[in-house]
Amino acid sequence: MEPMNPAGEAALQAATAVHPLIPVNGQVPLAWYLILATILFTVGVVGVLVKRNPIVIFMSVELMLNAVNLCLIAFGRYLGNIGGQMISIFVMAVAAAEVAVGLGILISIFRSRESINVDEVNLMQG
């Protein structure tokens, strides 16, 4: 692939001559944030799959949304772009709406059957 900006490419190569996981200029490398967000997201995925309590499943989803927010903000910071923080605000608003509706559904289910184990709620199963 032909570099679009040879001087900039060379400068970038010189700046990242050290391993991308080693901090340079006293700053945290971007890769650390990405790796942390990856692990947090995976913990959330495993929590959603393993847990039987829908409230803990919701909390795991919150964990995943937080990992994505961290990723977005880190990329926005390291690219000098405001977009990451803007999208994070919308993610937070959607998370708040999701939790409000989800917990309302849980209360409704609990009223009708006194249990909210996700394995027993199979009304819409085909």
Partner 1 sequence: MPPLPDPESIRLAILPFLAPQVLLFLTFGLGALATAVTMVLYPNPVRSALFLVLNLFCVAVLYLLLNAYFLAVVQVIVYAGAIMVLFLFVIMLLNLGTPDRSKDVLRWQQPVAVVGGLVFALVLGLSVFSTRTLPVLDENGLAPERQKRTFNAAPQAASMLGMSPAGVGSAAGRDTETDTDGSAGGSPVGNGVSAAEGENEQVPTLASKIPVTEHGTVRGIGANLYDPTQPWLFPFEATSILLLVAVIGSVVLAKRRMPGESLAGSRTAEAGLATPDEIVPGGEA
Q: Which of residues 43-102 bind partner 1 (CB under 8 A)?
A: 43-47, 49-53, 55-56, 58-60, 62-63, 66, 69-70, 73-74, 76-83, 85-86, 88-90, 92-101
Nearer to partner 1, 2 or 5 (CB): 5
The partner residues of 24 in beta bridges, in order of sequence, read 27
Quote the CA–CA distance of 105 and 112 in Å, as a whole number.
Answer: 11
Answer for which of 1, 2, 68, 104 binds partner 1 (CB under 8 A) is: 104
- The CB-of-126 to partner 1 minimum distance in angstroms stands at 14
Angle among Cα 75, 78, 83 to the nearest 5 degrees reads 50
From 75, 85, 83, 6, select the one nearest 37 (Cα to Cα): 75
- The CB-of-112 to partner 1 minimum distance in angstroms stands at 4
6 to 35, contacts with partner 1 by CB under 8 A? Answer: 8-9, 11-13, 15-16, 20, 22-35
Burial (Cβ within 10 Å: 0-12, 13-18, ≥19) of residue 123:
exposed
- The CB-of-39 to partner 1 minimum distance in angstroms stands at 6
Quote the CA–CA distance of 22 and 14 in Å, as a whole number.
Answer: 14
